[in-house]
Amino acid sequence: MTSQISFVFDGRRVDLDVGSAERLTPTTTVLNFLRGLPSHTGTKEGCAEGDCGACTVVVASAEEHHLVYRAVDSCLLFLPMLHRKQLITVENLKTPGAAMHPAQEALVRLFGSQCGFCTPGIVMSLFALYKRRPPPAESELRTLLAGNLCRCTGYKSILDAARWLVALDPMDQFSADEARILALLASIPRDSLELRSGLGQYYQPLTLQEGLVLRGRYPETVIVNGASDVALRVTKKHESLPAVLDLSAIDALRVITDRNGVLTVGAGVTMNALLSVVRDTHQAIHSMLEVFGAQQIRNVATVGGNLGTASPVGDLLPLLIAYGASVRLESVRGSRDIPAAEFVCGYRKTVCAPDELITAVAIPHLDRKAQVRAYKISRRRDLDIASVSGGFRIELDQGGCVENVTLAYGGMADRTKRAGQTETFLTGKPWNRRTVEQAMAVLEGDFAPIDDVRGSGLMRRVAARNLLLKFWTETNGMDRQEEGWNNS
């Protein structure tokens, strides 16, 4: 156990004692750390909630004897999350006596840079693309840059710069220095963190067993893994978190296995890591994840974190319910599996006991008869919270009647909720338009949505009915159709 954060920054190892360091606390964000330094103000604060990308930095971690570079929003990253990693900012791209880094040259060459406020973040996203291997496909570039706003040049020139950049050999000063950086990271002891200051405690265990012990010992701690949601309490609500249990260093929570028709995903698996494995097995989840936040968010947001927030408009839960998934909860007392449909028990409330942690999600593969769709209605396609979402599943018998149906809606109640009356009405009936139109009327009795900033209750009721009709139009008369996602 150590009380010191150690990471590589500006090409050297940095050791910080946040308990005694002036102005630093365990929940100081990386952005605020950088803005307090005289030589790293290129990283800007725009929204402080992970929407604009002006604060984008790159974090490199040692994985299988090489460095993996990921773009992240520094406004949502707590300083201890840098432990045993390398932090790279726009200032670090400069090489004395050399020309610009290719990520910078690309924007200049293709006329993608103007104001200088958003440009540093765009440069860092391009740098992460440049260092990615294998390089991203042309079709991925727009999605990978969706987390950076630009109101000066528009996106055409930025996309042109990305196309030019990823076609290059990714050899640069970071490639030449990689062995030395790996040695610096290896010199940092692999210990758990226990940070204490006058403003709070921060625990970062290395093993699941240690995490379960800490959870039982300190049940009031705020649990984080990527902290993309919890960090907003610090940056937007200006809360002081007295105790944090950070699970991001536990390797056992990042394991993915696929056995006996079940995909088991560790709670610490990031959305981007999940995205890479479900393309062929759970296409509806894959399509939904493509519009989950942005690249910078998906690089840190985790499966367990998304479930643990118990948001009424959480992206994963409707689909997990549709797939018949279960959630694994563990404590020092043992473990139990909870059906995904029963995991959230109220507004921002789950069935987790005070000493339990979410450790995994088990997602069955589909029966050949089953069809699953995911829907998300939002004001924009990328980087937005759903007003109404849906995870729907249907299985028809040989006569075309509904054998089993699951209609899980987000944004329609205080939690993700199944349309129980409508499911009962549909079961055993022909899957045709007349039946669906009758079911749309029944659906009115399943929910009483409220008005809020993302939509009125009336809008939500109309949207919920229309999504059911859309589900029918996409599945009617088909023996088997590929799963997919639709944004309306």
Other CB atoms closer than 10 Å to residue 79's CB: what's the count? 25
Amino acid 158: pLDDT: 94
| 3-state DSSP percent of the chain in helix, strand and coil, to 5 | 35, 25, 45
Q: What is the pTM of this model?
A: 0.93
CA distance linking residue 281 with residue 276, whole number of Å: 11
CB 375 within 8 A of CB 470: yes
Amino acid 469: pLDDT: 96
CA distance linking residue 448 with residue 446, whole number of Å: 7
- HSE of 195 in the Cβ direction (CA atoms, 13 Å)? 32
CA distance linking residue 360 with residue 269, whole number of Å: 9
Q: Which residues contact 288 (CB under 8 A, 6 or more apart)?
A: 315, 316, 319, 374, 376, 485
Q: Minimal CA–CA distance to 406: which of 359, 366, 454, 360? A: 366
Give the residue carrying structure tokens 């605020």: 32
Amino acid 22: pLDDT: 65
Q: What is the CATH number of domain 5-92+177-246?
A: 3.10.20.30
Give the residue carrying structure tokens 């994840």: 289
Backbone φ, ψ for residue 468 (5° rounding)? -65, -45
CATH 3.40.50.360 assigned to domain 102-171? The reply is no
All structural domains of the chain with their residue ranges:
5-92+177-246, 102-171, 252-487
Q: What's the distance, CA 278 to chain centroid?
A: 15
Backbone φ, ψ for residue 145 (5° rounding)? -105, 5
Amino acid 486: pLDDT: 54
What is the DSSP-derived secondary structure letter of residue 366? P
CA distance linking residue 384 with residue 374, whole number of Å: 16
What are the tokens at 232? Answer: 């907003």
pLDDT by position in tens, the chain (length 488):
678 999 999 999 999 988 666 678 899 999 999 999 989 999 999 999 999 999 999 999 999 999 999 999 999 999 999 999 999 999 999 887 778 999 999 999 999 987 888 999 999 999 999 999 888 888 889 888 999 988 777 789 999 999 999 999 989 999 999 999 999 999 999 999 999 887 789 999 999 999 999 999 999 999 999 999 999 999 999 999 999 999 999 999 999 999 999 999 999 999 999 999 998 899 999 989 988 999 999 999 999 999 999 999 999 999 999 999 999 999 999 999 999 999 999 999 999 999 999 999 999 999 889 999 999 999 888 878 899 999 999 999 999 999 999 999 999 999 999 999 999 999 999 999 999 999 999 999 999 999 988 889 999 999 999 999 999 999 985 433 444 445 44
Q: What is the CATH number of domain 252-487?
A: 3.30.465.10
Q: Minimal CA–CA distance to 252: which of 225, 291, 286? A: 225
Q: What's the distance, CA 476 to chain centroid?
A: 33
Q: Minimal CA–CA distance to 26: which of 34, 17, 18? A: 18
CB 72 within 8 A of CB 59: yes
Amino acid 380: pLDDT: 82
Q: Which residues contact 223 (CB under 8 A, 6 or more apart)?
A: 215, 244, 245, 247, 308, 357
Q: What is the dihedral of CA 74, 80, 81, 83, to 10 degrees?
A: 120
CA distance linking residue 289 with residue 285, whole number of Å: 6
Specify burial of residue 399 (Cβ count, 10 A radius: 0-12, 13-18, 19+). exposed
CA distance linking residue 9 with residue 118, whole number of Å: 22
Instruction: Kindly list the distances between the CA atom of residue 367 and the CA atoms of 183, 277, 480, in Å, as whole numbers in the listed order.
Output: 48, 19, 10
Query: In degrees, to the nearest 5, what angle opens at C-alpha 381 toward C-alphas 362 and 395?
Result: 40
